[in-house]
C-alpha cells in the first residue's frame, strides 16, 4: 500500500515542527555557552564591550547551526515519533498497511533537502560570517596576525608585529613540508602604519628555525644604494606548521570556493587535508541527516503508553554522544593523513546509515 499524501504531509509537518523546536533550543544553549566563553577570553580587556561580545557570538552562530543540525534532527525526530507512537498514530498507520519504511520516507526526504540547502545555500553565508568573526577575534582577542593567501598573482605572506612587519610575495612554491621553498621572492619591509622602509628581491627563500634564508638577494632602502648579498637572513617567528595554520580556515570558505582553494594549496605544495576533510564532511551532511532520522526511529517508533520516556531520551543522547566521539576520532585520523580525508568524512555518515537500516530491518521485519 502506498502512503497517502495526507498522511505523508502530516508526518512531515510533525517531524519538521519538533526538529525546529529542538534546533532552536540547542542553538540557544550553544550560543549562551559561547557568550560565556567569549566573556572569559575578553576579561581584562576594557575595549571589548558586551556589544562586541554579542556581535561576535552572532557572527559565529551560523557556523554553530551547521554543527547542531544533526543533533537537532536526531532529538527532534525522537520527539516527533515518540509523540505519534504515544498517541497510537503509528499503530493505526501500520494497521492500515503502512510500513515504517513508508512513513519514514517523508522525514528522510525533508532532511535530505535540508542538508542540500545547508551546503549549497546556507554554507556560503555561514562561511562569510565566520570570516568576519575571525577578523574580530584577531582584532579584539589577540589572535595571531600572520596571514597567508594564494591567488593568480602568486603566494602572499604577512609576518611580524604591528610596529615592524614584512609582506612576502613569491611567484610559486617548490617542494613540500620542511623542504618547501618560495621562488622569485619579493619582501616589503614596513614599520608603523605600513610605512615602507626597505625591499628585498631574492631568487628563492627557505624557512629555517627563526629566520628566512634568502638566496641571491638584492637589498634596497630609501636613500640607499642597492646592495647584493649571496645569502641574507630575515628574522621570523614563523614555522612550517604556523604557515600551514595561517591559511584561511576551512569553515571561512564556502562550499563553492573549497575545491579551487584545495587545488591551489596542493599545487603550492601544502597539505590540504583539513580543507578536503571539511569539504567531504559537507558533502556527506545530507546522508548523515537521513541516518539521524533512522536512529531516531529506532528509539521511538516502538514506544507505547507504558514505555519509559526517560530510557528513550537516554538512549538517543548516548547514541548522539557516541556518534560525536566516533566522528572526532575518525576526523583526527583524517587530519593526520592516517586514513584518506574522504574516507574520514564519509565514514560517520555511512556507519550511522548502515546501523540505522540494520536496526530498523530487525525491528520491522525481524
Q: Binning pLDDT at 50, 70 and 90, where does residue 187 land?
A: very high
Residue 20 pLDDT level (bands cut at 50, 70, 90): very high
**pLDDT-wise least confident of 75-89, 224-238, 309-323:** 309-323
Is residue 292 within 8 Å of 353, Cβ to Cβ?
A: no
What's the confidence (pLDDT) of residue 153? 67
pLDDT computed for residue 269 by the predictor: 62
Residue 143 DSSP symbol: -
Partnered with residue 200 across adjacent β-strands are 187, 219
Domain with CATH 2.60.450 in the chain: 147-245
The 3-state DSSP class for residue 334 equals: helix
Q: Which of 121, 65, 124 is nearest to 254 (CA)?
A: 124
Half-sphere exposure of 253 (CA within 13 A, CB side): 20
4-30 in b/e form (b: 16+ CB < 10 A) is eeebbebbbebbbebbeebbeebbeeb
pLDDT surpasses 60 at 146 = no
Predicted confidence (pLDDT) per residue in 306-354, tens digit: 555 666 677 777 888 888 888 889 988 888 878 888 899 999 999 989 9
The span from the CA of 45 to the CA of 35, in Å, is 15
Q: What is the pLDDT of residues 252-274, one digit of tens each?
A: 888 898 888 888 777 666 677 88
Confidence of residue 182 (pLDDT cuts 50, 70, 90): confident
Whether the per-residue pLDDT at 45 is higher than 80: the answer is no
| Cα–Cα dist 235/297, whole Å | 60
Handedness of CA 113, 364, 296, 334 (dihedral sign): negative
Record the pTM: 0.76
- For residue 143, the model assigns a pLDDT of 58
Q: What is the mean pLDDT of residues 235-240?
A: 77
Task: Quote the Cα angle for 88-90-94, to 5°.
Answer: 115
State the helix-helix crossing angle for 100-117 and 341-365, rounded to 10 degrees. 160
Q: Can you tell me the mean pLDDT for 177-199?
A: 80
Given the C-alpha cell 520527539, which residue does it identify?
Answer: 79
Residue 3 DSSP one-character state: P
Condensed to tens digits (0 to 9), the pLDDT of residues 165-175 reads 888 888 877 65
CATH number of 147-245: 2.60.450
Q: What pLDDT sits at residue 178?
A: 54
Amino acid at each position: 500500500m502506498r502512503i497517502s499524501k495526507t498522511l505523508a504531509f502530516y508526518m512531515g509537518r510533525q517531524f519538521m515542527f519538533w526538529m525546529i523546536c529542538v534546533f532552536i533550543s540547542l542553538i540557544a544553549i550553544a550560543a549562551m555557552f559561547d557568550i560565556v566563553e567569549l566573556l572569559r577570553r575578553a576579561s581584562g580587556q576594557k575595549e571589548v564591550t558586551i556589544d562586541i561580545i554579542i556581535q561576535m557570538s552572532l557572527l559565529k552562530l551560523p557556523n554553530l547551526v551547521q554543527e547542531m543540525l544533526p543533533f537537532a534532527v536526531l532529538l527532534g525526530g525522537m520527539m516527533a515519533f515518540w509523540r505519534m507512537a504515544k498517541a497510537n498514530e503509528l499503530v493505526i498507520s501500520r494497521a492500515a498497511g503502512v510500513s515504517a519504511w513508508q512513513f519514514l520516507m517523508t522525514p528522510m526526504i525533508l532532511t535530505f533537502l535540508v542538508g542540500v540547502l545547508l551546503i549549497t545555500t546556507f554554507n556560503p553565508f555561514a562561511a562569510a560570517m565566520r570570516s568576519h568573526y575571525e577578523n574580530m577575534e584577531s582584532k579584539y582577542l589577540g589572535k595571531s596576525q600572520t596571514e597567508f593567501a594564494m591567488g593568480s598573482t602568486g603566494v602572499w605572506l604577512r609576518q611580524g608585529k604591528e610596529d615592524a612587519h614584512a609582506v612576502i610575495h613569491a611567484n610559486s612554491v617548490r617542494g613540500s613540508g620542511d623542504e618547501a621553498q618560495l621562488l622569485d621572492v619579493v619582501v616589503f619591509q614596513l614599520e608603523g602604519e605600513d610605512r615602507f622602509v626597505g625591499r628585498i628581491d631574492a631568487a628563492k627563500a627557505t624557512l629555517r628555525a627563526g629566520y628566512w634564508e634568502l638566496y641571491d638577494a638584492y637589498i634596497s632602502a630609501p636613500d640607499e644604494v642597492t646592495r647584493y648579498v649571496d645569502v641574507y637572513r630575515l628574522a621570523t617567528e614563523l614555522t612550517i606548521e604556523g604557515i600551514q595554520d595561517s591559511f584561511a580556515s576551512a569553515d571561512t570558505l564556502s562550499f563553492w570556493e573549497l575545491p579551487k582553494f584545495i587545488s591551489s594549496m596542493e599545487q603550492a605544495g601544502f597539505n590540504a587535508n583539513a580543507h578536503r576533510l571539511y569539504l567531504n564532511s559537507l558533502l556527506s551532511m545530507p546522508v548523515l541527516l537521513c541516518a539521524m532520522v533512522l536512529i531516531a526511529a529506532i528509539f521511538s517508533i516502538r514506544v507505547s503508553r507504558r514505555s519509559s520516556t526517560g530510557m528513550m531520551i537516554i538512549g538517543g543522547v548516548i547514541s548522539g554522544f557516541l556518534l560525536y566521539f566516533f566522528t572526532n576520532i575518525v576526523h583526527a585520523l583524517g587530519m593526520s593523513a592516517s586514513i584518506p580525508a574522504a574516507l574520514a568524512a564519509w565514514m560517520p555518515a555511512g556507519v550511522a546509515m548502515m546501523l540505522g537500516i540494520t536496526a530498523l530491518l530487525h525491528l520491522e521485519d525481524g
